[in-house]
Structure 1
């Protein structure tokens, strides 16, 4: 656990120093940054294994920087903010955040959440790296293609840039087309059985995929979950 490198991004010096002190006590390597612009340079030069990211930052805000992180990496992100309303939390999740903690918070609680996210992330990486090579999983040559070994997705022959969670969801649905998966089931498959967040994370992931693949036939099953419909009809939900 102490091999992990964590970046703390907050314009409040006291919070940066407090969080760093608690993380170093647990032998994490850390870097403290006051702005998203500084963090963006860190992302380019020496990307950390995890981000603790404040939403209200001078210049580029935490939401935009979270989106930038997700363009390049699927590492855990815990967002922190004085804002305690559902809209802000949902937006943070939609942009790729893994957890959301409201200020003022207990540093011990934050460290506990960091450890939980890293354990889940490490478990997911271990599973992915341990998978044996598999052939290309292909459904309808002119639409969806998944190269499982390479973890690459293609739509109508064009490669689509997807994160590891987005690929995991696509693979799960594509391996059993037309089967309705419950949200809780997808949450366990994609995030792991120790994930303690809301099943709305599945909805946010589907929403992200629909933005990337506009005609993706992922259909919402009312009150249940989702399925990938392969009968040639239009997607609903």
Structure 2
């Protein structure tokens, strides 16, 4: 998906109780060719998006009536759509909760419109690649990765550990795939950023660290002894689960 196709026929749902943010972000997205739907709170957004999902959602976390975390949780019970969270600046709790709920990315306030649009394009591109992979014939699909107890099927976006399903976001999947592709080889944060954010989108070290934490937690839900992702302080991470 190139930049033109990433913006054509794509609708972005903006959910924020700050009407100034709704207006400014909507104008910026529309100037890039996106359609936008605006919602001032989570309750109104939930009803509308279940009935008519958007291609991507941008949700503020802290809102009255229904916050962004609850909105995403309840929305995912009915429909699947990628979501970017808007979080408080330097609020690691917001970030962790967002990824725990299944967000595909986050942008901390205050943010530049340019950064947000770049993240939107990156998430839409990853979602499109995932859909294309699922629709491929198995003969022409991407080969599965088997590393000891880990099994990854990129064509179907499936991950199993000891035969048990592990549900990952697109970004988490791409980071794990980069690590598992070459076991015992240390991947720097920059290399993992390149694997997960392939569009020269700026992310900081904390974003990758948060994804790694979420990966470990998800695997430990099916195996409390999971320790196949090592941290090498000052160097990066490696997968050791041969």
Of residues 128, 137, 145, the one that matches 2:145 is 137
RMSD: 3.0
Q: Quick check: which has more Rg, 1 or 2?
A: 1
1:77 aligns with 84
Q: Which runs of 5+ in 2 are unaligned?
A: 1-6, 221-225
Partner Cα separation in structure 2 for residue 224 and residue 184 of structure 1? 10
2:53 aligns with 47
Q: Name the SS for the 2:142 alignment partner.
A: coil
2:39 aligns with 33
2:66 aligns with 60
Cα deviation, residue 20, structure 1:
3.5
Distance 1:196 1:89, change over 3 A: farther
2:223 aligns with none
Cα deviation, residue 224, structure 1:
1.3
**TM-score normalised to structure 1 length:** 0.77
- Deviation larger for 44-53 or 218-227: 44-53
Partner Cα separation in structure 1 for residue 209 and residue 195 of structure 2? 14
Cα deviation, residue 216, structure 1:
4.6
Find out whether 1:156 has 2:156 as its counterpart. Answer: no
Higher relative contact order (CA 8 A, sep 6+): 2
Q: Name the SS for the 2:17 alignment partner.
A: coil
Q: Which runs of 5+ in 1 are unaligned?
A: 232-237
Q: How many residues align?
A: 222
Contact in 1 for aligned 2:186/2:238 (Cα 8 Å): yes
Of residues 4, 20, 26, the one that matches 2:26 is 20
> Residues 61-109 of structure 1: CA distance to partner in whole angstroms, max 9, x if unpaired?
22343555678656251405xx444445644664436343436x7xxx4
Partner Cα separation in structure 1 for residue 50 and residue 198 of structure 2? 29
Partner Cα separation in structure 1 for residue 194 and residue 73 of structure 2? 24
Distance 1:85 1:60, change over 3 A: same
Find out whether 1:10 has 2:21 as its counterpart. Answer: no
